[in-house]
Amino acid sequence: MDRRQFIKRSGLAASAVLGGSMGTVHSAPEGGKTDANGVKKSGTSVIVAGGGIAGLSAAYELMKRGFDVTVLEASGRAGGHVRTMHDPLPDGLYADLGAEQCTKPGYEIYRSYAKEFGLELLPYPRRTNLLTYIQNKPYTNEMLRDEKVLLKFGYNKRESAYMSEHGTKELPGLFYKPYLDNFEDEYQPLGVGLDDLDQITVGDLLKREKASARALRDFGSGRASALQSLWNAAILKHRKVPLFPTEVFRIKGGNQRMIDALAKRLGNRIRLGSPVTKIEHSDTGVNIHFEEFGKEQSLAADYLVNAIPTPMLLRVKIEPELSVEKTWVLKNTSYDFQSRVVFQTRTPFWKREGHSPNMGCKRSHLHMVWEMAEEVQGDRGILIGAASAGTTAEQALDVYRQRYPGKNIEIEHAMVHTWAQDKWSPYCERQVFGLNKLKKFWPEIIRPHGRIHFCGAYADNLSWGQEAATRSANRVAKEITKA
């Protein structure tokens, strides 16, 4: 829309409507016309704040529906928490520094994109043949399905039999099973007869279900309410996904290829180096102020899609202020912080010594480690792992040396990507809501506020990275289309 149209429709202070990095002036296209890429225009404009996978997916879906879309990405790259490292790795090797995997079933939208864009999904055996340390002793998957071993840990007979059949990580399902059919709609956790369970912990629920002291210690801690944990388990049951899926997949060549495919189709609709600084909104439109490589700019549009994490949005001035309920959600949504560890190896030494590359190290400086880029031909290899924020390469390598059961470790380079130090994408997945808070968070966390819509890994019912991001993006595209 031009200046006169915007003033008439929104009553906000007028500002130049700029398009393209050179600052040329554009007005919204008329309905029925097509853009330079041959996409039919609806005449309705949408600004997407944030160029991670959620923002790109939302923009892509809106573009396909004919909307005039602009993506404002604060950093100099698209992708957010999806990032694949190639340099300085040699021999064509690569490592995913952020988003890790998808499941099947589950991730239907994500996998449909992979098929549409011609991206090959590889089996990712990072959770199979896993060596897990418990009380500083290594246990194989087979050992952890042995009822005698499980009984020695302190699990009761019922629990040991269940884990022998389903796996150790699936034990909560034994206690959750009587409640899960209450959740008929995976987007409606409230009003199903279990609301009182939001006031008790998972540990309290496990005590009701006669869990052993060992089960309580391993699965009954944490801040999650029993209701939220049951709801999440019910979502996975709806999608036919285990609590801890072991059959997972990744994109050949790195998950960044999904970002690249979306960005290619969006083209110059993406404006990099453009952090949003102020949001003006009314019941008829929005006016978004941002800096484009240090230069102050503004754009008017019919809708805004917020695809940046809530702590980043809190730094943006919003006029008029959002509702008390929405503001509370933004201020109280919390996130995990993790670091990604990358070991470049001179040889796949674990194969020569007959050991699995996958270990549950159970240390803060190296939680888990597994193999990646195994399809790349050559002598060198990549081991990749997760660690607590602030871990150094030396600390991670020291834990690996302690945990690896073989004799010869041929690691020639250790690197750590500390997401907490990333200016624009420091946050990992959304944490649990906490006791007696579900009614305040849900469904407010996904609810639009006037012309502002919300998507991202935090803005869905299950905060599973790329699945939540793509699902919430498609939800937002449908909301705006129906508006």
44-103 pLDDT, tens per residue? Answer: 999 999 999 999 999 999 999 999 999 999 999 999 999 999 999 999 999 999 999 999
Q: With 60 as the cut, is the pLDDT of residue 158 above it?
A: yes
97-121 pLDDT, tens per residue? Answer: 999 999 999 999 999 999 999 999 9
Q: With 90 as the cut, is the pLDDT of residue 6 above it?
A: no
Q: Give pLDDT, residue 294.
A: 87
State the pLDDT confidence band at 23, using cuts at 50, 70 and 90. very low
Q: On the CB side of 318, how many CA atoms lie within 13 Å of its CA?
A: 20
CATH code for the part of the protein at 84-101+248-253+336-419: 3.90.660.10
161-188 pLDDT, tens per residue? Answer: 999 999 999 999 999 999 999 999 999 9
Q: Give pLDDT, residue 293.
A: 87
Q: Give pLDDT, residue 36.
A: 53
State the chain's maximal CA–CA distance in angstroms.
77
**Six token digits for residue 272:** 């990099």
State the pLDDT confidence band at 221, using cuts at 50, 70 and 90. confident
User: How open is the CA angle 169-170-172, to the nearest 5 degrees?
Assistant: 105
Cis omega (within 30 of 0) for bond into 245: no
State the pLDDT confidence band at 223, using cuts at 50, 70 and 90. confident
State the pLDDT confidence band at 282, using cuts at 50, 70 and 90. very high
402-446 pLDDT, tens per residue? Answer: 999 999 999 999 999 999 999 999 988 999 999 999 999 999 999
Q: How do beta strands 452-454 and 303-306 pair? A: parallel
Percent with pLDDT over 90 in the chain: 89
Q: What is the pTM of this model?
A: 0.90
CATH code for the part of the protein at 3-79+254-334+443-482: 3.50.50.60
Please name the helix (run of DSSP H) or strand (run of DSSP E) that holds residue 176, with its range, or none: helix 172-180
Q: Domain residue spans in the chain?
A: 3-79+254-334+443-482, 84-101+248-253+336-419, 140-238
Q: How far apart are CA 62 and CA 60, in angstroms?
A: 5
Q: How do beta strands 131-134 and 359-363 pair? A: parallel
Q: How far apart are CA 242 and CA 240, in angstroms?
A: 7
Residue 281, classed as helix, strand or coil, is strand
Q: How do beta strands 276-281 and 286-292 pair? A: antiparallel
Q: How far apart are CA 285 and CA 64, in angstroms?
A: 21
